[in-house]
Chains A and B, each alone.
Chain A
Amino acid sequence: MKSRTECVVVVGCLLTLARFTQAATAVGASPPTFNRDIAPIIWNNCAACHHAGEVAPFNLTSYEDVRKRAKQVAKITHARTMPPWKAEPGYGEFEGERRLSDAQIATIQAWAEAGAPEGNAADLPALPKFSEGWQLGQPDIVVQMVEPYTVRAERPDIFRCFVVPFNIPAGKYVKAVDYRPSNRKITHHALLFLDNTGMARKLDEADPGPGYSRMGGVGFLPSGGMGGWAPGAAPHRFPDHAARAVGANTDLVIQTHFHPSGKVETEQASVGIYLTDEAPKRTAATVPLGVRSTIDIPPGARDYKWADSITLPVAVEIPAITPHAHYICKDMQVWATLPTGEKRWLIWIKDWDFDWQGQYRYKAPVELPAGTKIDMVYTYDNSADNPRNPSSPPQRVRRGEQTTDEMGITFLSVMPKNPSDIKSVREAIRDHFLNLRGGAAAEGSTGSGLGALLGRLRGSTTPVPTTQAVK
Chain B
Amino acid sequence: MLKPLYLRMLMQCIRPWLRAVLLAVIGVACSACASRMPVSAPAENRRITNLDEQPVDPLGAADGRRATVLLFITNDCPISNGFAPEIHRLCDAYMPQGIAFYLVYVDPGLTAVDARQHYRDYGYRCQALLDRRNVLARRAGATVTPEAAVFLADGRQVYRGRINDLYVDYGKARFAPTTNDLRDMLELIVRGEKVEIRTTVAVGCHIPM
Contact = CB atoms under 8 A, between A and B. Distances in A.
B170 A75 contact: yes
A26 to B, nearest CB: 17
B78 A57 contact: yes
A354 B121 CA distance: 28
Nearest to A64: B109
Interface stretch (A232-240, A257-265, A284-292, A337-345): A257-265
A317 B109 CA distance: 53
B175 A327 contact: yes
B98 interface: no
A76 interface: yes
Interface in B156-187: 166, 168-176, 178
B205 interface: yes
A353 B173 CA distance: 10
Interface stretch (B20-28, B45-53, B55-63, B131-139): B20-28
Contact of A9 (B22, B107, B170): B22
A155 B206 CA distance: 22
Interface stretch (B64-72, B81-89, B188-196): B81-89
Contacts of A353: 171-172
Contact of A262 (B11, B14, B85): B85
B19 A6 contact: yes
Contact of A81 (B11, B26, B86, B171): B171
B23 A14 contact: no
Interface in A62-102: 64, 67-69, 71-72, 75-76, 79, 81-82, 84
Interface residues of A, number: 42
B19 A10 contact: yes
Contacts of A6: 19, 23
A76 B84 contact: no
A82 B166 CA distance: 19
Contacts of A390: 175-176
A154 B173 CA distance: 13
Nearest to B6: A14
Nearest to B171: A81
A28 interface: no
Contacts of B173: 155, 387
Nearest to A356: B171
B174 A387 contact: yes
B208 interface: yes
Interface string B93-137: 000000000000001010000000000011100000000000000
Given A10-B22, A57-B77, A84 B171 contact: yes
The binding surface of chain B is classed by DSSP as mixed
Contacts of A392: 175-176, 178
A125 interface: no
Contact of A82 (B1, B77, B171, B174): B171
B41 interface: no
Contacts of A154: 82, 85-86
A11 interface: yes
Contact of B26 (A13, A79, A389): A13
Contacts of A13: 22, 25-26
Contact of B170 (A7, A79, A153): A79
Contacts of A333: none
B175 A403 contact: yes
A221 interface: no
Contact of A14 (B7, B170, B206): B7
A69 B204 CA distance: 11
B10 interface: yes
A18 interface: yes
Nearest to B14: A10
Given A6-B23, A68-B107, A392-B176, A261 B11 contact: no
Interface in A1-48: 6-7, 9-16, 18
Interface string A120-133: 00000000000000
A104 B34 CA distance: 33
Contact of B10 (A14, A68, A82): A14
A75 B206 CA distance: 11
Contacts of A15: 1-2
B76 interface: yes
Nearest to B121: A263
A58 interface: yes
A388 interface: yes
Contacts of A71: 206
Contacts of A10: 11, 14, 19, 22
A42 to B, nearest CB: 16
Contacts of A171: none
Contact of B175 (A7, A9, A156): A156
B52 to A, nearest CB: 22
Contacts of B78: 56-58, 261-262
Given A81-B171, A327-B175, A388-B174, A263 B26 contact: no
A4 B38 CA distance: 25
Most buried by B among A56, A154, A263, A388: A263
A10 B107 CA distance: 29
Given A11-B7, A81-B171, 13 more contacts: A10-B22, A11-B2, A14-B7, A18-B1, A58-B76, A68-B208, A69-B206, A153-B84, A155-B173, A261-B82, A262-B82, A353-B172, A388-B175
The 5 closest A-B pairs by CB, nearest first: A57-B78, A262-B81, A58-B76, A262-B84, A390-B175
Interface of B: 1-2, 7, 10-11, 14, 19, 22-23, 25-26, 29, 76-78, 81-86, 107, 109, 121-123, 166, 168-176, 178, 205-206, 208
15 contacts: A7-B11, A10-B14, A10-B19, A13-B22, A13-B26, A15-B2, A16-B26, A18-B2, A57-B77, A153-B85, A262-B83, A263-B123, A327-B175, A353-B172, A389-B175
